[in-house]
């Protein structure tokens, strides 16, 4: 292979990175779905798991579906930020040109071409960063979650982009940047280089926020908010009990606060349900077949069943009527 051939191969390669902690009941569906999109590398970073998530991901690694990396963030450090440092330094990521960083409650829903990540890159055209808009999915009336498919159970969502819910995740040429936060890459290595940012519709937008160390939202007009070609299906709420149990875990930045209360500002923002949105289920036969193949491994299935039992036991112990009341805001005074 010549140097030019090697460069071209790297340009065709894509990587997906995700942080997880105690997400065992949801891991198999997330991994099965994203393994079908054509990513060359899938890396999952975990820390301090107590429900068997790490063991489940170890098994998926052994079966060849992804790479699992345990991390130990420093005291007070953000698991998200530390994981992205590891991702940037990982040879598997460095062998790819493109990197997408999402969470375990996020699914990249590509609606153009054959639904692959390559189809998305082709549809958007030449650029350095693709801003992929969140599409928020609500609880769909489910108050108690006892297993099953996230994609099948939670189909209530926002029908179109809304000003109050505009947020993006980013797929980007990681070698151009110093680091990344959860929503976008940061600090171009060459300050003089123009960074070409596009939406999933292929429209050029302002990339100034990539040069700001902390800002997490693109500075773009609302008219550029689009679900065309792709979006991030964001199942932040799932069921009411899953939402409230986020208070027991904390967030991916090592923080504990009231945003995961019922009737909080975030609850009201994320719990969308104005329409039924099922476009991601067009791939359900493939997804179900991939999950079945994964669960054919007895050890993986044993660990997954255990992780669901751990969730149920912890939920039933934590979510007493008194605790639910403490974690519920007055809807008239929602934060």
pLDDT averaged per 10 residues in sequence order, the chain, 335 residues: 46 93 97 99 97 98 99 91 97 98 98 98 98 98 95 98 95 98 96 96 95 88 97 98 89 64 93 97 98 99 98 97 94 61
- Residue 162 domain-assigned (yes or no): yes
Strand, coil or helix: what is 324? helix
What per-residue confidence (pLDDT) applies to 191? 93
Cα separation of the two ends of the chain:
58
What per-residue confidence (pLDDT) applies to 262? 93
Contact 277, 135 (CB under 8 A): yes
What per-residue confidence (pLDDT) applies to 6? 45
What per-residue confidence (pLDDT) applies to 302? 98
Q: Please state, in angstroms and rounded to a whole number, the distance separating the CA atoms of residues 123 and 99.
A: 17
- Residue 207 domain-assigned (yes or no): yes
- Residue 288 domain-assigned (yes or no): yes
213-250 burial, b for 16+ CB within 10 Å, e for fewer? eeeeebebeeebbbbebbbbbbbbbbbbbbbbbbbbbe
- Residue 76 domain-assigned (yes or no): yes
Residues in contact with 237: Cβ distance below 8 Å, sequence separation at least 6, in sequence order: 137, 138, 139, 154, 243, 267, 270, 271
* pTM across the whole model: 0.94
What per-residue confidence (pLDDT) applies to 2? 42
What per-residue confidence (pLDDT) applies to 136? 98
- Residue 119 domain-assigned (yes or no): yes
- Residue 335 domain-assigned (yes or no): no
Strand, coil or helix: what is 224? helix
Nearest partner of 81 among 45, 55, 107, judged by Cα:
45
- Residue 122 domain-assigned (yes or no): yes
- Residue 81: which domain range? 3-330
Number of independent structural domains in the chain:
1
Q: Please state, in angstroms and rounded to a whole number, the distance separating the CA atoms of residues 4 and 245.
A: 51
Residues in contact with 171: Cβ distance below 8 Å, sequence separation at least 6, in sequence order: 14, 98, 99, 100, 117, 120, 129, 130, 132
Strand, coil or helix: what is 92? helix
């Amino acid at each position: 292979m010549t140097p030019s051939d090697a460069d071209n191969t790297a340009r065709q390669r894509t990587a997906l990175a995700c942080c997880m902690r105690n997400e065992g009941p949801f891991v198999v569906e997330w991994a099965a779905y994203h393994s079908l999109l054509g990513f060359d590398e899938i890396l999952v970073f975990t820390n301090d798991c107590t429900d068997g998530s790490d063991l489940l991901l170890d098994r998926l690694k052994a079966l060849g579906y992804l790479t699992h990396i345990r991390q130990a963030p420093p005291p007070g450090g953000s698991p998200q930020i530390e994981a992205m440092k590891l991702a940037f330094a990982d040879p598997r990521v460095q062998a790819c040109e493109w990197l997408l960083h999402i969470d375990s409650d996020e699914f990249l829903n590509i609606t153009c071409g054959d639904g692959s990540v390559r189809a998305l890159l082709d549809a958007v055209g030449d650029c350095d960063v693709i801003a992929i808009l969140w599409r928020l999915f609500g609880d769909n009336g489910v108050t108690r979650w006892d297993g099953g498919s996230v994609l099948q159970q939670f189909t209530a969502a926002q029908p179109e982009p809304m000003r109050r819910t505009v947020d993006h995740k980013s797929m980007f040429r990681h070698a151009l940047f110093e680091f990344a936060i959860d929503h976008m890459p940061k600090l171009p290595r060459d300050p003089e280089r123009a960074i070409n940012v596009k939406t999933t519709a292929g429209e050029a937008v302002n990339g100034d926020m990539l040069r700001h160390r902390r800002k997490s939202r693109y500075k773009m007009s609302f008219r550029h908010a689009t679900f065309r070609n792709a979006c991030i299906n964001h199942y932040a709420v799932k069921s009411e009990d899953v939402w409230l149990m986020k208070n027991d875990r904390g967030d991916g930045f090592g923080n504990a606060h009231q945003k995961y209360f019922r009737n909080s500002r975030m609850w009201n923002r994320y719990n969308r349900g104005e329409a039924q949105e099922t476009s991601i289920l067009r791939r359900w036969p493939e997804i179900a077949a991939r999950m079945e193949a994964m669960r054919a491994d007895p050890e993986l299935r044993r660990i997954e069943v255990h992780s669901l039992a751990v969730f149920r036991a912890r939920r039933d112990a934590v979510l007493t009527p008194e605790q639910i009341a403490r974690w519920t805001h007055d809807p008239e005074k929602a934060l």
